[in-house]
Chains A and B, each alone.
Chain A
Amino acid sequence: MLEAIGNGLYGLIAGFTGLHWSNPVMIGLGCLLLYLAIKKDIEPLLLLPIGFGCILVNIPLAGLMEEEGFLRTIYDAGIATELFPLFIFIGIGAMTDFGPLLENPRIFLLGAAGQFGIFLTLALALALGFSKLDAVAIGVIGACDGPTAIYVSSKYAPHLLSAVSVAAYSYMSLVPIIQPPIMKFLTTEEERKISMGAVKKTVSKTTKILFPLIVTVVGGLIAPQGLPLLGTIMLGNLMRESGVVSRLTKASENEIANIVTLLLGISIGATMDGKNFLTPQTLMVLGLGFIAICLDTVCGVMFGKLLKVLSGGKINPLIGAAGISAYPMAARVAQREGQKYNPKNFLLMHAMGANTGGQVGSVMAAAVMLSVLKGMGII
């Protein structure tokens, strides 16, 4: 009788005795993510479910990530199969107006330059001793694009998924803090004052409808390994621009995106088990992710300076910093920095063009990277 009572009581304290030292640390980290989401409004849609998932998975003996645990079921259904990031991409395509980019197609090149940080960081990660596929997953943080980072890391380096995802979303939200000092350092005051004039509305509806089709076919032929990423974002955009499936467009940008964001966030949080997350490797991933975003900005601004020269001084190099995928924060940063030096300057729509170019560029860069890996027989 007494033994039975003792065993029963032990069942109530087993959770405490099963705690590993890393679990309370990770519960604290989960609370920090919740604080950033709730109090600081930093990517709350993602950081809130990630933070809560992190807390859930660090409570011992609950078995949420064991086989048949509910978080494992969600993870296997949407992350392991790569479906969640692709659903998110349909929503992103449905939300994005590529009009400002199509007004000035040269700006596509800024969207490419803003991805160079991916490849430079990949090389840096290799130099620091990471394996090839780990370096690929780390480099892709430089896409500044959460779904792309999740897609690539879940496929080729799932053990780094949580660190890569947290880094990608955290640094995306820190773009307004990370970019301005770099933009200021790399440009002269005269360059920052360059006025680009108003963006005229001169893109036909036919062009807007054909844009996603052409990007899908041409991009897919050049880099077929990235077609799931490219195809889904362009499907969303085709639905938007065609104007004939408004129900699907609205569902993609609202209901589907919301449900998938919740499931994506909580299942990423569920990968943050203390024993696996609290390693020197995670710190290195976070550090390299930061370097990747800085390198993207450097390359974008430098390419903006090159375009300025080639255009006879008509392009303000600040919009080069917007050639990353963090939409629309990066465009707003370019606008704000430009107006600091020339209050009559309205760079926003030009920067939006570069920013949407960055969205296409990040997907294209990941697609090119995967296809090169396939060509080399690495994957």
Chain B
Amino acid sequence: MDNWTFGITMVVVGMGGTILTMWVLSLLMGLLRKAFPYKKEEEGK
């Protein structure tokens, strides 16, 4: 594979893959927060 193809692939798939993964994680964290909401009584534990 030539350097040009490699570089473009890394930029597109690397940046896209990173942001996609982080977006999926942000969605899952949003769901987690809804599934396990914070309760006042947790304070002090």
Pair from one complex: yes
Chain B nearest CB, measured from A201 CB (Å)? 7
CB pair B22–A372 under 8 Å, yes or no, is: no
CB within 8 A of B14: which of A203, A207, A368?
Answer: A368
**Residue among B11, B26, B30 with most chain A CB within 10 A:** B26
Q: Which of A186-221 contact B (CB under 8 A)?
A: 201-207, 210-211, 214-215, 218-219
Size range of the interface on B? 20 to 34
Question: A123 with B22: in contact, given A102-B33, A204-B36, A204-B38 (CB under 8 Å)?
Answer: no
Question: A120 with B11: in contact, given A204-B37, A207-B33, A376-B1 (CB under 8 Å)?
Answer: yes
**Residue among B6, B25, B45 with most chain A CB within 10 A:** B25
CB pair B33–A214 under 8 Å, yes or no, is: no
Identity of the chain B residue whose Cβ is nearest the Cβ of A139 in the assembled complex: B10
CB pair B10–A372 under 8 Å, yes or no, is: yes
Question: A223 with B21: in contact, given A119-B15, A372-B14 (CB under 8 Å)?
Answer: yes
Q: Which of A356-373 contact B (CB under 8 A)?
A: 357, 360-361, 364-365, 368-369, 371-372
Identity of the chain A residue whose Cβ is nearest the Cβ of B19 in the assembled complex: A112
CB pair B29–A122 under 8 Å, yes or no, is: no
CB contacts (< 8 Å) of B1 on chain A: these are: 376, 378
CB pair A210–B22 under 8 Å, yes or no, is: no
Determine the distance from Cα of A206 to Cα of B32 in the docked complex, in whole angstroms. Answer: 9
Chain A nearest CB, measured from B28 CB (Å)? 6
Determine the distance from Cα of A37 to Cα of B23 in the docked complex, in whole angstroms. Answer: 38
Identity of the chain A residue whose Cβ is nearest the Cβ of B1 in the assembled complex: A376
Determine the distance from Cα of A122 to Cα of B1 in the docked complex, in whole angstroms. Answer: 16
Question: A201 with B30: in contact, given A112-B23, A115-B18 (CB under 8 Å)?
Answer: no
CB contacts (< 8 Å) of A120 on chain B: these are: 11
CB within 8 A of A364: which of B8, B18, B29, B30?
Answer: B18
CB pair B6–A223 under 8 Å, yes or no, is: no
Is A127 on the interface with B (CB-CB < 8 A)? Answer: yes
Chain A nearest CB, measured from B25 CB (Å)? 6
CB pair B38–A108 under 8 Å, yes or no, is: no
CB contacts (< 8 Å) of B21 on chain A: these are: 112, 218-219, 222-223, 364, 368
CB pair B22–A205 under 8 Å, yes or no, is: no
CB contacts (< 8 Å) of B4 on chain A: these are: 126
CB contacts (< 8 Å) of A69 on chain B: these are: none
Determine the distance from Cα of A376 to Cα of B32 in the docked complex, in whole angstroms. Answer: 34
CB pair B15–A116 under 8 Å, yes or no, is: yes
CB pair B11–A119 under 8 Å, yes or no, is: yes
Identity of the chain B residue whose Cβ is nearest the Cβ of A373 in the assembled complex: B10
Determine the distance from Cα of A202 to Cα of B8 in the docked complex, in whole angstroms. Answer: 41
Question: A126 with B33: in contact, given A119-B15, A361-B18, A368-B18 (CB under 8 Å)?
Answer: no
CB contacts (< 8 Å) of B3 on chain A: these are: 126-127, 132
Chain A nearest CB, measured from B40 CB (Å)? 10
Chain B nearest CB, measured from A240 CB (Å)? 15
CB within 8 A of A357: which of B8, B9, B22, B32?
Answer: B22
CB pair B29–A102 under 8 Å, yes or no, is: yes
CB pair A365–B18 under 8 Å, yes or no, is: yes
CB pair A201–B32 under 8 Å, yes or no, is: no
Is A159 on the interface with B (CB-CB < 8 A)? Answer: no
Chain B nearest CB, measured from A353 CB (Å)? 11
Identity of the chain A residue whose Cβ is nearest the Cβ of B14 in the assembled complex: A119
CB pair B38–A201 under 8 Å, yes or no, is: yes
CB pair B7–A123 under 8 Å, yes or no, is: yes
CB pair A372–B28 under 8 Å, yes or no, is: no
Chain B nearest CB, measured from A267 CB (Å)? 29
CB pair B25–A214 under 8 Å, yes or no, is: yes
Determine the distance from Cα of A136 to Cα of B11 in the docked complex, in whole angstroms. Answer: 11
- 11 A-B residue contacts at CB 8 Å? A102-B29, A109-B22, A112-B19, A112-B23, A115-B18, A122-B14, A127-B3, A202-B33, A223-B17, A360-B22, A361-B22
Ranked 3 nearest A-B pairs via Cβ: A108-B26, A112-B22, A206-B36
